[in-house]
Structures are given as C-alpha cells and as structure tokens.
Structure 1
Amino acid sequence: MIVNKSMFPLQTGFGVISKMQGRFADLQMQLGTGMKTSTLAGMGRDLPLSLSVRSRLGKIEGFAANIATVDLRLSFLDKTMTRLQKIESEGRNATVQGQYGTNNINMATLPSLSKARLDEVVTLLNSDVAGRYLFGGTNTDTAPVPDTNVLLDGQGGKAGFKTVLNERKAADAGLDGQGRLGSTLLLGDPAIPGPATESVVTLTEDGVHPFGFKLSNISTTASTTALSYTTPVVTNPPTAKSLSVTFEPDPAEQIQSGRTVTLGFTLPDGSETQITLRATTAAESNGGVDEFIIGADSGETATNFQAALNAKLVAVGETELAGASNFAAAENFFNGAGEPVLRVDGDPATATALRVADHTDTVMWYQGQSPAVAADGLGRMQIGSLGDTAMLTGDFPVSAQHGFKITGVSADTANIDTTYNAATPTAGSSVSATFGAGLLADETVEVTLQEPAPSTITRTLTLTPVTGKAGVGQFTIGADPTETAANFAKALNVVASEAAIAAEGNPRQSVTAQIDDNTRVAYGIQGNESGLLRLVRTMASLSVETYPTEENILASREPMRLAAMAETDPALRAAALADYEKAVTADRRSANGRFDAMASRQQAQLSASHNAERGSVQILTMELAVAHNGLQSATARHTDYKAQLDNLLSDVETVSKEDVAMEILALQTRLQASYQVTSMVSQLSLSKYM
C-alpha cells in the first residue's frame, strides 16, 4: 500500500475554507449593517414577505405625503374660515336699524368699512397654498375672483356691479319713481245718487315683469259704508295686477279721521313692505306723507288720497324699494351656483325683462368651478298651482349653460290633461297638469328634465296618485281637483328638489385626496357657495350705497333757504322757510330710510339663522373639520400599522449583532484551525509521515 496525498483531499479542504471565508464576509457585512443580506437573492424564503412588507410601507409613505399636503391646506382653510366667520359677525353687528351714530357717523363710515370687508373677503377667496387656489373647486391654477375694484367698477368696457345696480334701480323705480305702479282716479258726482257717484282710485302694475312694486294685499280700518276695496288677483297666465279703493259719496258716511288704508307690496328682492295712509282733517294735518285730508265730498277725498298715495310711493321708492333694488342687483350680478349673471334688458326705466349677461360686456365675478344645476331654486324651475291646474315652469331668461331644461311630459290620461310648452323669447319652457274629478290610482304623470350641455343626463320625475298618505314620488288624490292639484304641486316640489340636489352634487367632492386604501378625504370649496355668496353680496351692496350727511343735506338745500330769507314779505318768508324745513326733514327721512332699508337686509342676509343651511360659513367650517379629523384618524392608523410592519421587517431582514459577533469569533477559530491543518497536510510526505 502507498501512502500519498490522495488520502488527504486538499481540494475538499480548500472548498470548505472558501465557504467559511464567504460566510465570514457575510457575517462582517451583517455586523456592519445589521442586515441579513445586501442582495434580494440572499433573502431566500423570506424574500416574498420582505417585498410585501416593503410595498405596504411604500404605500403608507405615499399616504403620509398626501396627508401632509392636505393637512397644510386644511390648516390654511381653517384659519381662512375662522376669519370669514369673524367678518360675517362684524358685518352683522355693524349696522342696526335706527342706529345712525352721533352726527350720523355710522351712515358716513358704513360704505368704506363695508368695502374694506369686501376687499378682505375677495383676498381670502383668492387664497393659495404653493400656487394652488383653494376656493375654485377643481379650478386651482387661477384666482377664482377678480379684485375688488374690477368687481365694483368693471374693466375694459365690461360692466361692474355699480353699472348693473344703477340699471336695476332705474328699472325698479320707473319713469316717475313710483315703482312701476300707476294710479287713476274716477270721480263721481255727489249730486247724483247711485253707484255712479262713487269716487274710485285704482292702482295698477305697469306690466308683467320682475321690476318695481308688486301688489300683494290691501286692508282698512274704515267702515265698509265709508270705503270699499278690491284686492289684487293672481291669474294664469300672469297679468298685471290691480287694486282699487272706493270712497262712498254720502257725506254722512265719509271716512273718519284716524282711519287707515294699508297696501302691501312685494319688493324685487322678495321681501315685503307696506304703505299705511291715515285719514285726517285739514285742521289736524301735520303735512306728513303718511296722511290724506278728508275732503268735502268723496271726489275731493279720493283726489287727496291719490295724491298722498303717489307721494308715499315715491318716498318708499327712495328707501325700501331702493334697498331692495340694491340687493336684487347683487343677486343678479353675483350669481350663485347654477345661475347666470343677469342684467336689465333695454332701457331701464321702461324695461320689462332681464337678460343673460355675456362675458364680453359684463365682469363675471366668479371664475372657479360651479355646477350647472343647483339645488337652490330647483335648478331654475318654479312650481305652483292655480285652481285645478299644477304648473312646472322653467326660469326666464333662459340660459343654455344653467338650470334644468323641461323637455316633455307624459301623455294625457283619462282624468289628467297634460300640456308641454317649449321655451319662447319671452318665457321659459313649462308643463302643466289639469285634474278631473274621477282621478284613478294608476294615472301616473312623468316630467322629463335635461341637464345643460355638455351633460347628456336626462332625469324623469314620476308622480303616481294614491288615496292615502303619499310617499316620495306619490301625491294624494284630494277631495276635489283643486286640492289634488295642490297636492301634486307639493309632491312635484319634493322629486324636483331631489333631482336638483343629485344634479348639483357635493362641492366638497370637487377636490379629494387618497389617505388610505379605501378612504379619500374631500375638502373642495367653491367660492360661490351660499354662505360665501351672502358675504360678497352683502358687503358689495353696502359698499356702493352712500348716505348724505347732515352737512350735505343742509348744503344741498342752502339755495332754498337763501331764497326764503330773501323774501321781503313776512308771510311769504315764513311759508318759504316752512317749505325749506319740510324739504330738509324729507331729506333726513329719506337718508335714514335708505340706511334702515340696507341695515334690515344686511341683518337678514348675515343672520345666524342661516348658520345651519347647506353651504353656510359655519357648515363649511364643520365639514372641513370633519375632513381634518379624518386625516388625524388615518395618520394614527398608519403610525400604528407602520410600527407593526417595521417590527416584522426587522425580524425578516435584520440580525442580532451580538449573535453575529459570537459566530464570527467561532468561525475565526475554525478558520485558523483549518488553515493550520491544511498547511500541514499540503506539506505531508512519506518520510515525514514515518
């Protein structure tokens, strides 16, 4: 037998040493980095779990980045909304009816303070964070509102609010300042007995249009034997309404001193006012605009009543009507969601309609995202009933970009006659349903609505008659056709409201961010939402309305006073000075009345009663707070989950440096021993072996 190196396989020893050296290198890397391996291949069976955990951590980092961005924006919005609430509160408390201040200081400072608030509101609506505008919905790259001066004064030939306001005031006042009402007098002959001797004053609207006073009601404290009247009547189709006051001819039945006649009116902004005229004798008269003198007969009394009525209409036209015109113009110019900008069509003093303003001739106040159909106003539709007929009418003037278009109604049934009228140059599209007495439970009515282009969505309003309590989409068959028509109109209002709400959508959804796998936070705001819109309209209205100071009033009447003082006849001088005092008093009353009219409307617009309404500043603040709470909840979830994943990833990818150090020491010992053995074997020979 031959003893040689083949009994000691060096190649195998070298391979083992090489593996130990590789392991030693891995252990050194682990000791230095704390990681099991520096390559994916080195993960072995832990690779799928590692990749899955890292993917999830990457998603969490992405969500965290979104949350950080949205949190910054929401923090900014929170501060902005807090300031807007403060401005609303300041505006609400800035003006109170009857509180004119010392030397009318409140009247003098109100316009400038209101403009300053308007300017701040506009600045806040144009807020941006890192170049992203926050009050334009999805339109985030441009400011949603022009600056204050452009809004009020216009720019580049485009009309601003002041121009639209002046047009509206002229249209509401009319040529004679009587609010588009005209009175006529029919005198009787006291010497002739019978109905023909009565004297009648008739007051009539000058047409069917949105301008001026609209007759509402009439009442009197006089006896029926002394005075009678007719009330305004609503017709379908609408006609100019009128009322009349008849003075009886019998001198023994003349109206008594202190008795009153009260006329009610609807103003252009939808508010109500009234005029009360008190009968008085010549001896008791103080020359006020609220009284008329009882004459020697019915004709003289009626003549005095007409003169007092005309004068009172002018006086109220300068105060209440002017205030209503201001706020109506603000509603026309500062259009809300789903509404166009409107202006007076034609010569304002004789105009009979509004027109849709064009961006080429009118400043568009809001340039952010806005829905074409809004829940407020039923998507520019009106619902009503008259007798046995219920009506759904599209708003006028027609705008191709705003509001529902009524496109059809289902066919007649046995007891329901339906009619569809397409839009015309003077009226919007409409449908009507006239009910018979034998209505059956299967006679369903369907009304078709179309959203403005480019939308192709069509909505069908379906109403079915029932004999009991009606649910959504149903109306109760009444005791007679008139009651049925009223029930149908109420039910139609419900389904039309739901359709308008669905078409408008939620402004908050205009801007969203992913903060979790199945969670998106919605925080979009559109600058023309109701609460913000009321602020802009109110501050703009108050900023352009001015009131003469006491010095202005006296200065304007100074020529009248000087002329009176120049009279040499004492009686003429006294009469002229009396006229001067009356004129100054009337100017003061007019200024105070205008201030009170604006103050009452500001109080109504900024009242805390609006706080719970959809789109109010308070509701917006609350909804943004809910979004912020959602962010905080998501952040807490991600923090907890990330900690769990980090622990799991640590178990999979990292090592204990203490264990690695001990393994390195053991491996070093084995390597040194292996080196020595291998060295000795490599030098082995027979002589050395022997």
Structure 2
Amino acid sequence: MTTITPFAAGSYLTARNASNLSALKNQLNDLSNQVSSGKVATTYGGLGSGRSTALAAQATLSALTGYAAGIGVAQTRTNLAVTSLTQVATIGTSARDTLNNGLQSAAASTVAGRATALADLQTALDTLNQSAAGNYLFGGGDATTQPVADISTILNGTTNSDGSKQLGLQGYIADQVTADLGSGMGRLAVSATGSNPVTVSEPNDASRGTFGFTLGGATSSVPSVPAAITATTVAGTTSTPGTVSFDVTGQPAVGDSVTVTLKMHDGTSTTLTLTAISGSSDPSATGTGATFLIGANTAATADNLNTALQGALKAAAGTTLSASSTATAAKNFFTGSASAPIYPPHINNPSGTPTYVAGTKDNTVLWYQGEDSGTAAIDTQSVQISASASIGTGARANDPSVRNVLAGLATMAYALPATTSGDVNTGYQAVVDRAGQFLNSATTSPSIQDNVTQLSLAAARLTNAASTNAATQNTVQNTLDGIEQAPTEEVVAKLLDVQNRLQASYQITASLSKLSLVNYIS
C-alpha cells in the first residue's frame, strides 16, 4: 500500500511541532541578539511599524548635529569679532581722550602723541586681520583673503614690477600737504614789499578752490576817523582769483587790528587777526605773527603789515591747513577697496600745479582687500540654525565707522606737531578739531560700538539656538531610543520564558520520539 507522506497519519502534527520549535529557536536568537546589542533589531525592517518614525528621527538628529557644528564655529567667530572690534573701539576712545587731555600741555604731549597714535594705528590694522580656524573675520563674504594689506605696505607703499610707485598712507598724506601748502602760505601770495595797499591773492591756476586756502574776506578794526587802514575784498570767479587788500592811508593806533578769513577744502575756516603794536612799547616785537609794528610812516607800516601777513599765513598753513590736509588725505586713503573697486583720488604734480586725477591700483595702495559688495556686512556670513532660519555673523574691516577711527589715528600720527618749536598749541588744537571728529566714531552712532552690539546680539541668538536645538535633540533621541533600544529587564524575562518553553518542548518531543507499539504493549 502506497502512502502519501504529507498526508500520512501524524505527519501534520510532526510538521507543526517542528515549525513551533523553529519559531521558538528564532525567537530565542532574536532575544539573545537584543540582550547583547541592546537594540530591538539590526535592520530597520526588524522595527516593524516603528521603522518610519525611526528613519525620520535619524534624519532630524543628523540635521541637528550639523546645525550644532555650524553654530559652534559661528559662536567662536562671532565672539572673536566682538572682542576685536571692541579693541578697535577702545583704541579710538583712548586716543580721543589722550588727545583732549593733551591740550593742557601741548608741547609736552605732541611728540609722544605722534608715536602713540602710530602704534595704535598699527595695532588696529593688525586686529582687523583676526582669523578663526583659518577664516578671516573682517573680509565680508571673502573669508580666505587677508582683508587688510600688510601694515608696512599700507604705511610706506610699495614698488610695482615696472618700477613705478604705489603710494602708501605716509606718501599719500605728504602729497596732499605739499599740494595744499604750495610755497608755504597755502598757495596764497602777498604783494611785494613796498606795495600799498598790501594785497593777498589766490592762485591764478587750476589749483584755486581745490587746494590750499581760499580767501573768505577781510576786515579792518581801526577806530581812527578817517580809517587809517581800509580793507577791501574782491571775491573770486570761475576765471579770476579772489583778493583781499589793506590800504594803509594813515597811522593806526596801538591795538588797532586787521582780520583775514581763510577757508579750507574740508569746509572749515580759520581767522587771522593782526594787531598793531608800538616798537617802543614792545621792544621784543618782530613784526610777525599776530602783531605788526607801527612804522615811522605809512609806507613803513604797510611793509610791516606785509611781513606780518606773510608770517601769519605761513604759520596758519603749517598748523591749521596741514592738519586739514592730513585729515582729508587720511579719509580719502581709507576709502580704497580692492574688490569694489574703489581707488582714492590721486594728486598729479603736487609740488607744481596740483590736480586731482582718478586713482588706480598702480598708483595708490588699496588697504582693504576683502569683499565689498552692496550686501550689509552682517549678512555676508551666516550660519543655518534650523531648517528655516539662519543668523548673520559677517563683518568688514572697511565699515565707515572703522575707517573713521583709522583716519583719526592717522591724522594724529602725521599731523601732530613733530617738534615743540613754533606755534604748537595752534597745531595741536587743529588736530584735536579734526582727528577728534573721526575718533568719535568709536562710540558715537553710527559707530563701531553699534557693530559690536549687532554682533553681540547675533552671539546671543546663536547661544539660544544652540540651547533650543540641544533640547530638541534630546527629545528626538529619547523617541528614537524608545523605538530602537531593547529594555534589558523585559528582554531577559522574555529570553528566560522562551528558553524554558523551548527546553520543555525539546524534552516532550524527545520523549514522544521514543514511543513505539512495543513500548506501548509492554
């Protein structure tokens, strides 16, 4: 008789028992793996319905880890930028205070002030080249290029490959001062000795109104009747130079005075007042400076006034005008930018008839080498803090407030009187008036301090974002652990239960396998 094995008596029961034993064995293996690895499964497929949640959680954790890394780098960058800008602001504030305090003893303060200001300028420029992890902080969108040129090149210039010169700050200022001073009287001329009236005239060339002094008018404060000295002003036109003249028709009294107003290209002006003195009342009087001698007759008085005017003009040119020229040149120089590109105006023929011509990269050093687009500085560098938000952390060395402080330091370094001879007080005051305005940009809005505040707020936002992301990361990680991690106590309990069941099944199966008809009959 033929038997179909799958349908033989007892075959189904045997197959079912084998299947149950195999399932228990697989369950035992799974639980053993969970105990050793601590994971529910080694593949996402083994997680069942939780696999989609686990995949989403892993993606979120990966993104949060990336945000955390970016925020950490940005925090270092921003904190360094805040520290560096604070140092530049402190340098500017300290220089301004030192300059103002030096008015009490200008002669003792001026030479040391020049040296200190130059050192401060170098420190500020060096600070603006600060970097973090090889990335420069103050280059705007360009973090790989050193934003500020070499300090020696900035100050002293360099030589091009063809032998031509690129002017540095010192040479640029020197050209401006030379062009403004002319022959020493601010490009003005005084009529020859023996002339009456005594006339002061503007240059009759292309430099008029652009370089040196411009005549703003003249007055005579002579109470004598009729007036001993008559002042006349002829305003310049586009084709004729302006003049002022003093006609000495009588002898002034001691204390009588004449006044000349001089305008400068930075919009400021200065006034020269010359007072008549008697040689017998002031034996030491030389007829120069703020006084002029009453001569033996009107011709002699006119000559003395002529000499005094020349001396006063030279003194004003060497102090007030020189400070104005230095401030103008420093401000122009620090507008230069390589990437914009912005070239400071260049002075052609400074020792002759000077004219401004377009600057080029070949004739003037461009101190700023970083990115200089129209984008706000803070937005040139940013860090992603979440899927939909980012924080700007950028900064530029050529921010207007920073440039002003640099120009103020340069004005101090090159315009403060180099010696204690001459009219030190006037020269010192002229620098205070001009450099002080620049240095106010350290703290007076819009100021460097405004940039420090902006970056400090960015740093605070980064810290808050880091805390928020860390909390989110912990929550997501706990959710993922609840899906992927196998609870040790529960798994061990299940493992013992399966072991007992499997052992019992094996024992029963072994016992049943020994049964036979012979054993049953016996």
Both proteins in one fold, TM over 0.5: yes
Contact 1:144 / 1:527 at 8 angstroms: preserved in 2? yes
What is the match of residue 168 of structure 1?
A: 176
Deviation by residue 1:89-110 (Cα, 9 ceiling, x = unmatched): 3322333453447xx5533323
Q: What is the rounded CA distance, in whole Å, between the counterparts of 1:24 and 1:284 in structure 2?
A: 124
* Residues 1:336 and 1:230: Cα distance change in structure 2 (over 3 Å): farther
| Structure 1 residue 314: Cα displacement | 0.9
Task: Name the CA shift for 1:517/1:350 in 2 (closer, same or farther; >3 Å).
Answer: same
Whether the 8 Å contact between 2:209 and 2:265 is mirrored in structure 1 is no
User: How far has the Cα of 1:4 moved from its partner?
Assistant: 7.6
Which structure features the higher share of strand residues? 1
Distance 2:193 2:419 in 1: 42
- Structure 1 residue 309: deviation in Å? 2.1
Q: In structure 2, how many angstroms separate the alpha carbons of the residues matched to 1:43 and 1:348? A: 84
Change (3 A) 1:59 1:299: same
After superposition, the Cα gap between the structure-2 partners of 1:234 and 1:636, relative to the gap in structure 1 and judged at 3 Å, is farther
Aligned to 2:34: 30
CA distance in 2, matches of 1:548, 1:63: 55
3-state SS of 2:158 partner:
coil
Q: In the alignment, does 2:406 pair up with 1:533?
A: no
Match of 2:93 in 1: 89
Change (3 A) 1:513 1:241: farther
- In 1, Cα distance between the equivalents of 2:186 and 2:362? 31
- Name the counterpart of 1:318: 318
Letter paired with 1:324: S
Q: Deviations 1:608-628 (Å, cap 9, x if unpaired)?
A: x652433x3211211110110
Answer yes or no: is the 8 Å Cα contact 1:186–1:201 preserved in 2: no
The match for 2:470 is: 639
Deviation, structure 1 residue 334: 2.4
User: More displaced, 132-141 or 289-298?
Assistant: 289-298
- The equivalent residue for 1:178 is 185
2:149 aligns to what SS in structure 1?
A: coil
Q: Is the 8 A contact 1:229 1:243 kept in 2?
A: no
**Aligned residue type for 2:309:** L
Secondary structure class of the residue paired with 2:85? helix
Aligned: 1:274 with 2:271: yes
Taking the TM superposition and a 5 Å limit, the aligned residue runs for 1:300-449 are: 303-335=303-335, 339-345=342-348, 347-371=349-373
Q: Using a 3 Å threshold, how does the CA distance of structure 1 residues 52 and 269 change in structure 2: closer, same or farther?
A: same
Q: Does 1:509 align with 2:379?
A: yes
Q: What's the TM-score once normalised by structure 1's chain length? A: 0.66
Other-structure match for 1:663 = 494
Q: Contact 1:137–1:507 (CA<8 Å) still a contact in 2?
A: yes
Q: Give the gaps of 5 or more residues in structure 1.
A: 189-197, 372-503, 551-587
Contact 2:382 2:394 in 1 (8 A): yes
> Which one of the candidate residues 590, 596, 602 is aligned to 2:435?
602
Considering fraction of residues, name the structure with more helix: 2
Cα 1:283/1:148, change in 2 over 3 Å: same
TM (normalized to structure 2)?
A: 0.85
Deviation at 1:42, TM superposition (A): 0.9
Matches within 5 A, 1:195-210: 199=197, 201-206=199-204, 207-210=207-210
* Secondary structure, counterpart of 2:166 in structure 1: coil
The Cα offsets for residues 285-341 of structure 1, whole Å up to 9 and x where unpaired, read as 533411234567776655544432222111111111112222222223222567422
Correspondence for 2:157: 154
2-structure distance, mates of 1:599, 1:619: 24
Tell me which structure has the larger Cα radius of gyration. 2
1:567 corresponds in structure 2 to: none
Report which structure shows greater RCO (CA 8 Å, sep ≥6). 2
Correspondence for 1:98 among 103, 116, 131: 103
Deviation at 1:151, TM superposition (A): 1.9
Distance (Å, rounded) in 2 between the aligned partners of 1:664 and 1:162: 85
RMSD (Å) for aligned C-alpha atoms: 3.2
Counterpart-to-counterpart distance in 2, 1:164 and 1:94: 26
Q: Would the aligned equivalents of 2:343 and 2:366 in 1 still touch at CA under 8 Å? A: no
CA contact (8 A) 2:93 2:443 kept: no
Q: In 2, Cα distance between the equivalents of 1:505 and 1:532? A: 17
Q: Which runs of 5+ in 2 are unaligned?
A: 160-164
- Contact 2:276–2:292 (CA<8 Å) still a contact in 1? yes
**Count of residue pairs brought into register by the alignment:** 500
Higher mean C-alpha deviation, range 220-229 or range 647-656: 220-229
Partner secondary structure for residue 244 of structure 1: strand
The percentage of counterpart residues that share the same residue type is 25
